[in-house]
Amino acid sequence: MQKKISLFGGVSTGIGMIIATSCFISLASGASAVGTPFIAAIVIVCLLNMMAAASVAELNAIMPNLTGGLAQYLLAGLGPTVTIVTMAGGYIISNIFAAPAEGAMFANVMCDATNHQIPPAVFSVALTIVLVMINLKGVNMSTALQTVIAAVMIVSLIALGVIGAVGAGSGQEVSQVSAVTTDWSEVLPLTATAFWLFIGSEFIVPLGKDMKHPKRNVPLSMFLSLGIMCVIQVIMVLGFHHYTEWAELGNVNSPHLLYAVNMLGEFGRVWMIIVAILAAVSTQNSIIGCVSEICCGMAKIELLPAVFQKKNRYGAPYVVILMMGAFTIIIEAAGLSEGSAVQFLILASSFFWMLTYVVYHIDVMKLRKTMKKVPRSFKTPFFPGFQLVGIVGTVYMMYHISENPFQRIRIFLLALAILAGLLGYALFWVKFKLKKPLMKHTGVHQVMAMENPLYYAVRHRKGME
């Protein structure tokens, strides 16, 4: 019998997904552009993503303890076509972009530590291989790793931020204005940049079946993860103000190392290298483990090929874990995640993630209308206020995904091409493989029945598949 995951384990998983090395790039980019007013963008995005987390928590309250969870919620509310496009784009494709970006950031730090004597791809590929092996051992080992890493990182980042915020570092403080601009027309679009600082808290949901007191701990873990990360990011911006020139902060590949060295010298470099390594390990670990659970859940409800359900003797969905590892290694080895490509990968991944959050809000509104009397252990307050504000705010961020017009068009075109491809797959799969109406939702009881292997045995016996 597997040991149940505690509230702290759930929060650790959430923080482990949110606290990415690449977050330093987004944090530095936003702070460099406007100074401390970037804190306003950080807080706004945290609140918007808490609204998304609330919508996910309500969906989980209707159908708790489902494998993958997130896909089942959309299938019950919006039908198979929307579910395939949203889940494949929002989690599989976006994380195929995000995982190599994390590997590249890890490689940058290691190259700095070894005076660039080893090619970056060696570090990033090695990291991915190690984490694939860990996740193949099952959820408990993955969560245990997250718990240790999250505890170390929270303490380290708060300490590094506070030291900088109060000017207690051994380095020379810089003299600069706290606000580069206070013009809201320049600050608000940076919410799209800040979005990357708060993605992934919903990856706690697939672990719900393995958590203690999931009705309470699933939503609480998501909210605590986001709140803790908001405090950490705000403190870090205040630290940047004291020890890094705003302009210089936005022009380096490793702004976190610049900050640490300026503040604490070589000791700061070593400390931040350790933190950055832990962040990269934590994020890639969460991506590989949680995305594999989501894909397994999609396969259970027949939205992906059945092979994605296959598990090893540790209960790990090894096919998806190996697939995610392979894609990540290919991109890392080819050098497609190095240099300026990291920022593009981050923004492209953000765009798909934003779209997913919009769909969650719509799903909650749909199920509130069609399933009014179904008991829920958690309901979003001020309905439909949270959903409407969340949709408007997230669409605004999608439009402002990049302040560089050329890069924004590239992201829009990439997203259009990928979504068109996913839609083509979804239409073919639903119409010819599942032989179901393209947009008709599946009843909640049927979705929940799909968790039982007997559901498929009966269907096979009756010649229904």
User: pLDDT by residue (tens digit) across 249-284?
Assistant: 888 877 888 899 999 999 998 888 888 788 788 778
Between CA 362 and CA 263 the distance in angstroms is 46
Residue 290 lies in a domain: yes
Q: Give the CA angle between residues 354, 357, 363 to the nearest 5°.
A: 145
In a domain, 456, yes or no: no
- Contact (Cβ atoms closer than 8 angstroms) between residue 64 and residue 373: no
Any domain includes 2: no
Structure tokens at 374: 């179904």
In a domain, 463, yes or no: no
Q: Hey, what amino acid is at 85?
A: V
Confidence of residue 9 (pLDDT cuts 50, 70, 90): confident
**pLDDT for the residue numbered 40:** 97
The C-alpha atoms of residue 22 and residue 30 are separated, in whole angstroms, by: 13
Which tens digit of pLDDT belongs to each residue from 177-231? 999 999 999 999 999 999 999 988 887 887 777 788 888 888 999 999 999 999 9
Reading the block at residue 371, the tokens are 């399933």
Distance, CA of 203 to CA of 17 (rounded, Å): 8
- pTM score: 0.87
Please state the domain count of the chain: 1
Structure tokens that stand for 37 in this block: 């007013």
Strand pairing partners for 211? Answer: 5
**What digits encode the pLDDT tens for the residues 11-21?**
877 787 787 77
The pLDDT value recorded for residue 434 is 82
For 145, 207, 451, the CA distances from 232, given in Å and listed in that order, are 21, 25, 39
* Residue numbers of the domain that contains 279: 7-437
Q: Which amino acid is at 200?
A: G
Say how far apart CA 20 and CA 199 lie, in whole Å.
Answer: 10
Neighbours of 415 (CB within 10 A): 18
The CATH number of whichever domain residue 27 belongs to comes to 1.20.1740.10
Quick check: 62 and 376 in contact, CB under 8 A?
yes
Per-residue pLDDT band for 392 (boundaries 50, 70, 90) equals: very high
pLDDT for 107-154, tens place per residue? 888 887 787 788 888 888 998 998 888 888 875 555 666 677 777 878
Look at residue 235 and give its three-state secondary structure: helix
pLDDT for residue 4 is more than 90: no
Alpha-carbon distance of 383 to 365, in angstroms, equals: 8
pLDDT digits (tens, 9 = 90+) for 309-354: 888 888 888 898 999 999 999 988 887 656 567 778 888 889 999 9
In degrees and rounded to multiples of 5, residue 5 shows phi and psi of -85, 135
Of 330, 318, 324, 426, nearest to 92 (Cα)? 324
Q: Are 257 and 243 in contact (CB under 8 A)?
A: no
Question: How many Å apart are CA 48 and CA 102, to the nearest integer?
Answer: 24
